[in-house]
Each structure stands twice: as C-alpha cells, then as structure tokens.
Homo-oligomer: A and B are copies of this chain.
Amino acid sequence: MKKDFECTQESYAREVLREKGLKSTAQRLAVVHVLHTSRKSLSVGEIHDRVKDMLGTTGLATIYRTLEMFEGLGIVKRLHFPDGGHGYAFSQGEHVHHMVCVDCRGVFDFPECPVENFDYASVEKQGFRVKNHFIQLFGQCVKCAEAA
C-alpha cells in the first residue's frame, strides 16, 4: 500500500498488530489515521466515510471488525454519549480517560486517573473485587463555550 500518511500513531499500530500476529492492512491503518487526525470522536459511519475517502470502496463490516479489535488492543476507546450514541477516539494504550464536549463531541485526554489510588476497601469488604473502570467526563470545550 502507498503511504501518503504515516506517523508515530500508524507505526505504533503496526507494531501492536505485528506483535499479535495480525495483519497491517490498508483498512486498519486507515482507521488509525482517520481517528488520530480527528480532534473529535467519530461514529462508525463517520469513520467508514473517511476511510472510503482514503481507500475507495471499503466494507462497513470491516470498520466494525477493526474497531472491536482495536478496542481490545487498547488502540481505540469507545465513548458513550447521553443521546445513546457511541463515538471512537484514538488511544495509545496507556491508561487514559477522556473528556468529551457534549456540543461538538470533541475529545480531550485526561491523563491523571481520578481513581488511581482510590481506596476500594469499603466496598471490597462486601466481596466485590474491582478489576478495572471506565471514566468519562462531560463538559464544554473552549470553542463551544464561546459559540454558546
């Protein structure tokens, strides 16, 4: 495949894929490219459209398959919106949470984990063992706040 685009994010994805014995297909790398060059989270449909712009024909099922796989690999994060919709954002593996603008769906990293050293003792004593967590902050970005 021709690489009009290539950067640390694509190389990172290639690396993760190779380690797992998975193929670095044009479609997969295009999804990475589309996501990491977007400052807003994208819906499956939006990702599909942009990948088609890059590669010509592309099956929607491939986008779904790729996103599910990437989420498992920690390459993308699925976000949940109040209206019930979902968005996807690039996420380079490290433990990071996101803030999303409820107006433009813009995504902003939130590196400090609020529950990093939170004491689950009170609740684990009831027997529940916490394994991981999902945190998403909602708010307004600068641009949308000004536009309002």
Which residues of A approach B to under 8 Å, CB–CB? Answer: 80, 99, 101-102, 108, 110, 112, 114-115, 118, 120, 122-123, 126-142, 145
Contacts and interface: CB of A to CB of B under 8 A. Distances in A.
Contacts of A126: 108, 142
B128 A122 contact: no
A135 B123 CA distance: 15
Give how many copies assemble into the complex. Answer: 2
Main SS at interface, chain A: strand
A136 B133 contact: yes
A112 B108 contact: no
Contacts of A120: 137
B134 A139 contact: no
